Amino acid sequence: MKLITGNSNGALANSVAAYLHLPLVDCWVKRFHDNEIFVEIRENVRGEDVYLLQSTSYPINDNLMELLIITDALKRSFAGRITAVLPYFGYARQNSKSASRTPISAKLVANLIARSGVDRVLTLDLHAAQIQGFFDIPSDDLLSAPIFVRDIKEHHDMETTIIVSPDVGGVARARAIAQRLGRGLAIVDRRGSQALTVEGMDVIGDVAGCDCILIADIVDSANTLAAATDALLKEGAARVCAYATHGVLSSGASERIMKSGLQELVVTDSVERTVAADLPSKIRRISVASLIGEAIGRAANEQSVSSLLT
């Protein structure tokens, strides 16, 4: 088994390699002056079971092209089997036609990955369940829920905790964690004329006096989290925290979180920080390296991965 990575998330790749007690494959990713990507794999991978770890996060198009080009280099180096490990799958929010004459970009990206020569895909908390079916090759979608459940039990009083979905689309994800914890579920119904706007919030469920925990898969601008927090506090919530798998945290998101009534946001390291600075005091990171490393190890040994989802 070989583990290789591009430039998208070197810290996570090193942590996964340490978990598996494997060195990363020596791979040289170079850019010409016009930003064209060139890849050279500097060791023998002929016949090997290769796991390519690459989040297609910011800069999303560069990291996606790195993934495709490294895959092509592996195929031309006669790698035996190539598994793309995508801790964060970019374009996942474009998983259906949102209006007339709009693309389904998630399906397009899935096609590109499969056509490049990838044999299997391993993802983490896809934005929508149907994306797994977009791949015409075998795929596994890992869940961060077990990691979140352990962390919530360590840091929160279960007697007063209630799990909250920040929008209707995330109800299934929030309900799964609520059931694991044996706690109640509330929903914040977001109103907005477009996908990126928040015009109003309605809370469904009784949250008065509760320790509310918002569960999300992606935090990008943090507009929805901030608005949901305000809505919960107006309904009498004692405290509001949030857990999100993919901390994209685009420009202004950290400042928006710091100014909000949110007590804490917990994110994983599926996405490498886009700003070279320490995270604000309200944002805490936990690692998914052991989860991804264990999944890779089991897949390489042809063992069940589904047991990691419980």
Which CATH number does 145-286 carry? 3.40.50.2020
Is the pLDDT confidence value at 179 over 70? yes
Is the pLDDT confidence value at 71 over 90? yes
At 231 the pLDDT is: 94
Which two tokens mark 223? 């507009």
- Intrachain domains 2-143+290-309 and 145-286 with the same fold: yes
- CB 163, CB 215: distance < 8 Å: yes
Which two tokens mark 167? 């929008």
- CB 245, CB 127: distance < 8 Å: no
At 278 the pLDDT is: 60
CA–CA separation, 292 and 141 (whole Å): 11
Is the pLDDT confidence value at 162 over 90? yes
Residue 169: pLDDT band by 50, 70, 90 thresholds? confident
At 199 the pLDDT is: 63
**302 or 307, higher pLDDT:** 302
Contacts of 245 (CB under 8 A, 6+ apart): 124, 125, 144, 216, 217, 218, 267, 268, 270, 288
pTM above 0.85, yes or no: yes
Please give the average per-residue pLDDT across 285-298, as a whole number. 96
**285-289 long-range contacts, CB within 8 A, separation 24+:** 285/247, 286/147, 286/151, 287/12, 287/15, 288/12, 288/87, 288/124, 288/142, 288/144, 288/147, 288/245, 289/12, 289/15, 289/16, 289/18, 289/19
Which two tokens mark 152? 């919530």
The mean of the pLDDT values for the chain is 93
At 309 the pLDDT is: 77
At 142 the pLDDT is: 96
CA–CA separation, 299 and 101 (whole Å): 39
Phi and psi, residue 74, nearest 5°: -65, -40
Is the pLDDT confidence value at 195 over 60? no
> Per mean pLDDT, which range of 70-84, 187-201, 207-221, 246-260 is the poorest?
187-201
At 14 the pLDDT is: 97
105-116 and 60-76 helices, crossing angle to 10°: 20
Residue 116: pLDDT band by 50, 70, 90 thresholds? very high
CA–CA separation, 28 and 41 (whole Å): 6
Is the pLDDT confidence value at 276 over 70? no
Please give the average per-residue pLDDT across 217-221, as a whole number. 94
CA–CA separation, 18 and 20 (whole Å): 5
What is the distance of C-alpha 223 from the center of its chain? 18
Please give the average per-residue pLDDT across 272-298, as a whole number. 85
Q: For the chain, which residues make up each domain, given as ranges? A: 2-143+290-309, 145-286
Please give the average per-residue pLDDT across 40-66, as a whole number. 96
CATH class of the domain whose range is 2-143+290-309: alpha beta
Please give the average per-residue pLDDT across 165-176, as a whole number. 93
Is the pLDDT confidence value at 4 over 80? yes
Which two tokens mark 247? 């901390």
- CB 236, CB 257: distance < 8 Å: no
Is the pLDDT confidence value at 12 over 80? yes
Task: Give percent above pLDDT 70 in the chain.
Answer: 95
